[in-house]
Structure 1
Amino acid sequence: MKPPLMDLHIETAISGFYKGFAKNVTVAGKVIVGALIIWAVAFPTQAASVLSSINGVILSTFNYWYVFVMAFFVLVCLLLAIWPASGRLKLGHPEDKPEFSNFSWFSMMFGAGIGIGMLTFATAEPMYHWASNPDTIRGITEGSSAENVRAAYVWSFTHWGLAAWAAYAIVGLSLAYFAYRRDLPLTIRSALVPLFGRSLSGPLGHTIDVVAVVATVLGVSQTLGFGVEQFVAGLSRIGFGDWLYTATADGGQKVSIMAIILALVVIMGASTLSALSGVGKGIKWLSNINMGLSFFILAFFLIFGSTFFGLQALFLGIWDYLVSIPSNILTVWAKDGTETGDALAGWQGGWTIFYWAWWIAFAPFVGVFLARISKGRTVREYVLGAIVIPAFMCFVWFAIVGGTAIDLELNGNANGAITGAGQADQLFAMLGVILSPTLAWIMSIVVVVLLLTYLVTSADSAVLIINTINAAGDEGPKARPHILFWGAALAFVVGGLIIAGGLGAIQTAMVIGALPFSLVMALMGISVLKAIWRDGKREKMGVASTSAEVAATAAAE
């Protein structure tokens, strides 16, 4: 058995505007994203219609694929958690130590991975599933009743639990393993070296990295889109004026174009400045602020919210969720012509399949970022730290914050104020029920600040990760114009798609963009299992499996 491949050449420009960047990847990514922006802004009706049609085909054709591939990621991570070899192998060389403390590591991981969505959905999702879920569709429970609370949390925890973080962990582990043990470039194609070898230096590798860049832009845009709507809702609650919303034809209201522009200018301006400062400075400090404010808000709900109800929902929800895993992560509902069957398929497409696509599209960004901050940790430490702790944190938020909202509606104190609010406004509406107007206004400001820091952390991390992929894995300083371009591109994708068709247009584009990258991720799971298995055999045979061991062997000879 020979040492593994430890040299993957990726051609980069040696001078000019693209110095240090792989031009094939960078230009192709910019052209695809630029074309999407122009199409969405210039032809919003056509863009929304075409994207919707493609999305319908994907949801009806690839629903089985999305469900089973996410189950595969969970199984791979569980295998790595119990595999003896994974406890010995380090993401790096034997002398490497973690760069960040456990608190900063967790803070950056959580803030980049799921913080924005948690603020929106910790209230909104349990409330929605409390009213409607597969059990209510099948007539097992009654919507918006006490008996439906446990079912609501089974699905909330399913969508934000082990599966979500397993998707992130697969990408991060694959990249960190090959980048820090074998000194391969920290870019997506390197994770497939055990399967395709040196052929990844050419068009195949370029295509994989471009797919990752496009998926990242769309996945992050989905997250920023939710954040922008909640940010505007918060600004409205603290008194920024009626101009933040415009009336719709059906008598409702939607976020105004001026509000979208204001939110994106603030968010992307701050995130670009942070991106220019790098991971060790701006992103690290913002992540620590995020975690501190998150604990403050959580402590607030533990003191002033429905604590007993929330803790009961937490422990029962975790038990119900763990028991439901074997069936829930493998169940696919397809349209069968019956009212119940079609309703179940529609629910799964709008919730589970949407989430699986969202996590997959978000995975190249979070994965590269996790790899970047996890050097020096063992495979088992990484897998358990990147899956169990963040998932549990999500469960606590959903149980305490969402549980308070459900309890307020159940006991009549809210009197429909929370259920009647829009998805982005439900957290602020709940604060209005719990607190006096003045205290609700103060807490709304705290939530808006936390939301802003989460938005900035996600956006600036995404810009740095996109540039890392485009620069063939180079983690060093990047040319400022490219940071500015991707910051502006994210803003235009979010703004353009929201204007074209609201969050639904972003959701549709993201589901489409996630499909090709889901195949890449499945191959990454196979690749890292193969690498760990073969490195275990190399270790027993005394064959070098890391670049440091190869260098030491060469020096000895």
Structure 2
Amino acid sequence: MTARSDTPVAPPLVELPIETHDRGFYDGFSRAVTIPSKVIVSLLIMWAIFFPVSASETLTAANSNIIASFAGWYVYLVAFLMFTCFMLALVPQSGNLPIGNPGEKPEFGRFSWFAMLFGAGIGIGLLTYSTGEPLAHFTDNPEIIRGSIETRSAEAVRSAYTFTFLHWGFAAWATYALVGLAIGYVAYRRNLPLTVRSALAPLFGLHLSGRWGHLIDIVAVVATILGVAVTMGLGVEQFVAGLSRLGLGDWLLEPDGSSSAMAIIVALVILIGASTLSALSGVGRGIKWLSNLNMGLSFALLALFVIAGSGFFGLRLLGVGLWDYLRTLVPNSLTLFEPGGAFGAALVQWQLDWTVFYWAWWIAFAPFVGMFIARISRGRTIREYVLGVILVPSLMCFVWMTIVGGTAIDLELSGAAQGRIVDTVISDQLYATLAVLLDPAIAAIVSGLVVVLLMTYLITSTDSAILIVNTINGAGDTEGARRFHILFWGAALAFIVGSMLILGGIEAIRITMIIGALPFSFVVALMGVSILKAVAFDIRRKRHGVPTTADGCADMEVQK
């Protein structure tokens, strides 16, 4: 569409054609995206299964080089994403713009919306890291490395939560929020396909209909699969640890405490099978129902820790932790440790193992979570969207980690645990906390609840990811022939997670994910620039009476 010669700014692009197949197995899909994505993922699976030694050595070498070279890129990129989100929300002209047509109402109520945000985002990670992260930083963090405080002391608790909040707060959710906003804003206001490439249309226009647009969507699909694989890997290990705590047999664990190959296979058959069935039911039924169940079970477990655990201690940690987090957010978000000095090498390694890993994980997870958030957020203003997506889930993460993790730390500080929590593997720490806190019979019941909650989180995340991958492959179309493609991606996830866990452990999945996240990180950076341009130009268009939505452009054509 072209503007009149006297128009100060042209109307937005409202068409982005993407060729899709019209019959057969790939009916409704872009074969230029779907087939290469499947080939890349299949080759990765075969490499891990048939050449495990070569795969492990190559991944380790590539990981060292990538992390060392791009640590600063990840740190400053995520800081930019946070700044962009809050600026768009807080500036009145941009914050009032709707993600959709004016007057459009949201599809989901706020409770279901928040439940789906929380369940599809990092619910699984919370069950593993609610105790794991605070206990890890209680043992080792930059302040301990510098020698200013003693490891596993009362003085170490405060700094432990500063870094826990840094990793699970605004950074994670701003990354998701920006990707979802960049996609949803142009898709719903300009009638562009609900797919990753559309987010860059304000920058590159119709060039995205061809090979460059296909490449962007392929990168997003691969990153999504690898990001979800990390979450699935963590979840499977904790799922198996829970089954072992419930006394289902010694066959579940190896002598070193890791999950056995048979346990991993059984867990994946159960979890991926249930996820695939849920994905076949669609977002309106399976995911919404499971998300509400997740939220209810999460609150029940949290209430148990408030009542039976160290509730007051956790609430004090929440208040102090929020204050420390907010006052150190800017410097901690921009800090990049250097290898020089007495503690430089240790500080650099800590940042690579924690902060940079998390930033890469959130970025790899962002095409899935961002697309999913865009799918469920139509009709909300930019301000409501940004504040809802960032503040509410972040606060839930903080509450969860101070109440649950605070109970674990309090049990260690008081001597009740005597190292039984902090010295066990991370996948077992939540169950170990329950075992110390409760009578054996009650601990077994609650551990069973955790296993059920973990299973529903795993199913929700995995089926959401499968549906989103098919949406990207289908050029934004959420309908059409999807059944066999859902089965393929479910099986692909099972083989990736299973092969990596059995042959290389969770570290192999982490390394693969970090490598896969790097290409998409450049796409995310362009998304930040693109949404700023889209909103700025729409504000100018409103000022000059130029249409800003596809409906407005259609009305203008009719008037002509």
TM-score bracket for the superposition, by shorter chain length = over 0.9
C-alpha separation between the residues in 1 aligned to 2:170 and 2:516?
22
C-alpha separation between the residues in 1 aligned to 2:278 and 2:482?
14
C-alpha separation between the residues in 1 aligned to 2:513 and 2:414?
38
Which residue pairs with 2:454 in the alignment? 451
Match of 2:26, SS? coil
Match of 2:504, SS? helix
Of the candidates 279, 289, 295, which is equivalent to residue 285 of structure 1? 289
Which residue pairs with 2:27 in the alignment? 19
Match of 2:155, SS? helix
**1:211·1:517 contact (CA, 8 Å) conserved in 2?**
yes
Which residue pairs with 1:261 in the alignment? 265
C-alpha separation between the residues in 1 aligned to 2:202 and 2:534?
7
Which residue pairs with 1:194 in the alignment? 202
C-alpha separation between the residues in 2 aligned to 1:126 and 1:172?
29
C-alpha separation between the residues in 2 aligned to 1:506 and 1:335?
27
Of the candidates 316, 320, 328, which is equivalent to residue 324 of structure 1? 328
C-alpha separation between the residues in 1 aligned to 2:169 and 2:531?
22
Q: CA deviation at 1:146?
A: 0.3
Give yes or no for the alignment of 1:429 onto 2:437: no
Q: CA deviation at 1:339?
A: 5.0
Of the candidates 461, 482, 486, which is equivalent to residue 483 of structure 1? 486
Give yes or no for the alignment of 1:296 onto 2:300: yes
Q: Which amino acid aligns with 1:458?
A: S
Of the candidates 500, 520, 525, which is equivalent to residue 517 of structure 1? 520
Which residue pairs with 2:415 in the alignment? 412
Aligned residue pairs total 552
Of the candidates 515, 518, 541, which is equivalent to residue 538 of structure 1? 541
Q: Which amino acid aligns with 1:533?
A: A
Deviates more, 1:476-485 or 1:26-35: 476-485
Paired residues for 1:83-122 under 5 Å? 83-122=91-130
Q: Which amino acid aligns with 1:109?
A: L
Q: CA deviation at 1:86?
A: 2.3
Of the candidates 496, 500, 503, which is equivalent to residue 499 of structure 2? 496
Q: CA deviation at 1:88?
A: 2.1
Give yes or no for the alignment of 1:132 onto 2:159: no
Q: CA deviation at 1:420?
A: 2.1
Deviates more, 1:145-154 or 1:78-87: 78-87
Query: CA RMSD, aligned part only?
Result: 0.8
Q: CA deviation at 1:63?
A: 0.6
What whole-Å deviation, never above 9, does each CA across 1:445-474 have from its counterpart, x for those lacking one?
Answer: 100000000000000000000000000000
Which residue pairs with 2:6 in the alignment? none
Q: Which amino acid aligns with 2:463?
A: D
**1:74·1:162 contact (CA, 8 Å) conserved in 2?**
yes
Which residue pairs with 2:4 in the alignment? none
C-alpha separation between the residues in 2 aligned to 1:217 and 1:447?
25
Q: CA deviation at 1:204?
A: 0.5
Paired residues for 1:207-356 under 5 Å? 207-247=215-255, 252-336=256-340, 338-356=341-359
C-alpha separation between the residues in 1 aligned to 2:448 and 2:104?
42
Of the candidates 46, 53, 56, which is equivalent to residue 38 of structure 1? 46
**1:467·1:478 contact (CA, 8 Å) conserved in 2?**
no
Give yes or no for the alignment of 1:399 onto 2:407: no
Which residue pairs with 2:190 in the alignment? 182
What whole-Å deviation, never above 9, does each CA across 1:222-253 have from its counterpart, x for those lacking one?
Answer: 00100000000000011110001123xxxx23
What whole-Å deviation, never above 9, does each CA across 1:122-145 have from its counterpart, x for those lacking one?
Answer: 011000100100000011111100
What whole-Å deviation, never above 9, does each CA across 1:484-540 have from its counterpart, x for those lacking one?
Answer: 000000111111111221000000000000001010001001000100010001001
Q: CA deviation at 1:214?
A: 0.4
C-alpha separation between the residues in 1 aligned to 2:365 and 2:481?
22
Uncovered stretches (5+) of structure 1, i.e. residues with no partner: none
C-alpha separation between the residues in 2 aligned to 1:351 and 1:210?
28
**2:257·2:425 contact (CA, 8 Å) conserved in 1?**
no
Of the candidates 143, 151, 154, which is equivalent to residue 146 of structure 1? 154
C-alpha separation between the residues in 2 aligned to 1:356 and 1:478?
35
**2:98·2:382 contact (CA, 8 Å) conserved in 1?**
yes
**2:470·2:482 contact (CA, 8 Å) conserved in 1?**
no
C-alpha separation between the residues in 1 aligned to 2:333 and 2:514?
18
Q: CA deviation at 1:308?
A: 1.3
**2:27·2:480 contact (CA, 8 Å) conserved in 1?**
no
Identity level (%): 59
**2:194·2:471 contact (CA, 8 Å) conserved in 1?**
yes
What whole-Å deviation, never above 9, does each CA across 1:330-358 have from its counterpart, x for those lacking one?
Answer: 1111333x551111111111000000000
Q: CA deviation at 1:83?
A: 1.1
Deviates more, 1:470-479 or 1:380-389: 470-479
Of the candidates 356, 369, 373, which is equivalent to residue 370 of structure 1? 373
Q: Which amino acid aligns with 2:351?
A: Q
**1:41·1:499 contact (CA, 8 Å) conserved in 2?**
no
**2:27·2:481 contact (CA, 8 Å) conserved in 1?**
no
C-alpha separation between the residues in 1 aligned to 2:425 and 2:486?
34
Give yes or no for the alignment of 1:466 onto 2:466: no
What whole-Å deviation, never above 9, does each CA across 1:277-319 have from its counterpart, x for those lacking one?
Answer: 0000000000000000000000110100101110111000010
Q: CA deviation at 1:477?
A: 4.1
Q: CA deviation at 1:543?
A: 0.3
Q: Which amino acid aligns with 2:308?
A: F
Q: CA deviation at 1:34?
A: 0.3
Which residue pairs with 2:3 in the alignment? none
Q: CA deviation at 1:194?
A: 1.0
C-alpha separation between the residues in 2 aligned to 1:311 and 1:143?
22
Q: Which amino acid aligns with 2:277?
A: L
Match of 1:545, SS? coil
Match of 1:255, SS? coil
What whole-Å deviation, never above 9, does each CA across 1:392-438 have from its counterpart, x for those lacking one?
Answer: 00000010000000000000111111112210000001101111110
C-alpha separation between the residues in 2 aligned to 1:285 and 1:35?
35
